[in-house]
Chains A and B, each alone.
Chain A
């Protein structure tokens, strides 16, 4: 799976840019499978990407259009998908999202993730073989009714809480 190190992330969005370009030949956030959340007031930059979670919420697709691939990635079938949006609703962190009636979710670029290759901050790391180690159950309940962007913001805030405490502690008085 892909591991994020927010203390290193500058918010440049190179992961997002290169994800979009690799998959669609063009650049745009809506086509990217990793979306960087930026909360400028708090200095937070956090790329939200599929955690390959233990629960695999999105695979409860009514059309069986989503399954887990050999690398632990989510594989979406464009032919089975009816764009019903269940996956988007089920994911607690906004890591899968429909755009133009297609689900966009990290596919690990077949094992050579372009976001990792293009992040020269070391903030986006690929750990092959590690999958289904993260539980997103604690995000599930309160994600109800939120749109993907709202879910991503919640997740980013949670995942950077310790970092912000460390910053505060480091400056002292």
Chain B
């Protein structure tokens, strides 16, 4: 088994840069969402298609990122 169709893309969610990494393992697409800075894993999802896996990761990441509070410095 190898990761196939490996792809990454960056998007903005709730004001934060997020990197999506998706690939196919066997018959299943996997997706992870990381914040770009500092590069920490936020969500891991699966789906029958890349789109399904990515959308799940986006939804989960958006939910978590919405809770991140910015404070005045």
Same complex for A and B? Answer no
